Every structure is written in structure tokens, then in C-alpha cells.
Amino acid sequence: MNITLKVWKQKNNNERGRFETYQVKEVSPDMSFLEMFDVLNEDLITEGKEPIAFDHDCREGICGMCSMYINGRPHGPLQGVTTCQLHMRSFRDGDTIVVEPWRAAAFPVIKDLAVDRSAFDRIMAAGGFVSVNTGNAQDANNILIPKTDADLAFEAAACIGCGACVAACKNSSAMLFVSAKVSQLALLPQGQVERQERVISMVNQMDEEGFGSCTNTGACEAECPKSISVENIARLNREYLSAKITK
């Protein structure tokens, strides 16, 4: 396969960016999208040119680092996959592929396709954990949790914090991410002690980071590589309202 890439290049968040065009030849259909970028960067380095900066780590769809906006969609044309799980067989010989970083004020560009997503870390630090000393771990069968709640908590915990929900949202809202992290603990007995403080602190931090509001378009769920449900957003709203009234 021969592919034309139009890639966003930007030195840092303070300078203007631009698209640059690259020709990538003899691309194997079995390559992942990131492997194709590896080949391109090797060629650029060989030619004495600057390689394209992009985020990656596990390359197994677990870490959420591989954040690329591909042909107008976070993580590319397929649903339920991250960029590292996207293979070149999803494209055709001669295709032109446009690749951009996440576009959100709360995710400033570090360089090229790499953005600063530490806003998510600060939201988690505001309350996305259990800090109460519960002693030694009990046998799982000793903690009685309804199967429905356990399943919902597990599904929410699948969120990898990649930021695709923010990139897909016209308002750059982080509600799907925050709601998944709040739901994960609100549904389990271990999270009950700090339940109210958690949701208030995390929502307040989300607002401080400059994320937009949710207007229920559903783009976040549609583009989430882990198919996190917008039902978590409804749960977050209930948790937040209940906590504010109680407090």
C-alpha cells in the first residue's frame, strides 16, 4: 500500500501549527497505525529530518496514550478500538489520511500529535480513589455486592482515560471520563465513605481545568474505544445533585 499522510506539526502550544504532507510507501496492511508511523519516523530520521512526535506506550489498547484524531474521528474509523489497535487494512491503497492531535483547551499541545492530558490526573487526584484504611484485603466472597452493581462498576472501570470523549465532544466535555471514575467507586461498598466528597471534588476540578459542559449529543460514547455508556453521566448528575443537597 502507498499512503499519503497529512500530519499536524506544531512545535509547542505557543506557536502556530500546520499540516505537512508525507508519502509512506510499501505499507503492509498488517501494520498497526502506530507501526506505520514508526516506519515513517525511521525514514525521516534517515533523511536527517525531524520525526513526528506522538504518544504511545503499551500498544495493546490498555494505557490510552495513543491519542490521534484520524480523518475526523478519535482513534480512527473503527469503533471500540484505540489507535494502536487500528491496522492499515482499514484503509485502501492510495488513501490520504489526515492526522491531528486532540483539540481541547484543557489538552494543550506539547508537540505535533502529543498533548498534555495531565488535567485528567488532577481530576483523579481530587477524589478518584479510596483513601479510607479498610485493613487487609478480605476474601471476595465476604464482600456482598449485587451482580448488577458489580457489572456496572466493572464496565465503568474499563475507562482508560485516553481523552477520546473530550476530543469527540463539540464542547470538549470530560463528563464521560469523570462519570466513569465516579460510578466505578459509587457502585461499590468500598467507595461509600467518601462518596459525596468525591463527586463534588472531581466535578469542581473538572470545571477548573476548563472542560466544557455536556449537551447530551452522545458523541463521547460513540467514539469511546471502551464503549463507556452515557448512563454514567446520568449517574454522575444524580450523585452530584444528591451530594450538594446533603452538604
pLDDT, tens digit, for every residue of 16-58?
999 999 999 999 999 999 999 999 999 999 999 999 999 999 9
Instruction: Give pLDDT tens digits for 180-193.
Output: 999 999 999 989 99
Residue given cell 481530576 in the structure block: 123
Instruction: Give pLDDT tens digits for 169-183.
Output: 999 999 999 999 999
pTM of the model: 0.94
- Domains of the chain (ranges; CATH) run 3-111 (3.10.20.30), 118-246 (1.10.1060.10)
What pLDDT, on a 0 to 100 scale, did the predictor assign at position 244? 96
Instruction: Give pLDDT tens digits for 70-116.
Output: 999 999 999 999 999 999 999 999 999 999 999 999 999 999 999 99
Q: What are the CB-based long-range contacts (under 8 Å, 24+) for 51-60?
A: 52/7, 52/9, 52/112, 52/113, 53/110, 53/111, 53/112, 53/113, 53/114, 54/112, 54/113, 54/114, 55/113, 55/114, 55/115, 56/84, 58/84, 59/32, 59/34, 59/84, 60/84, 60/85
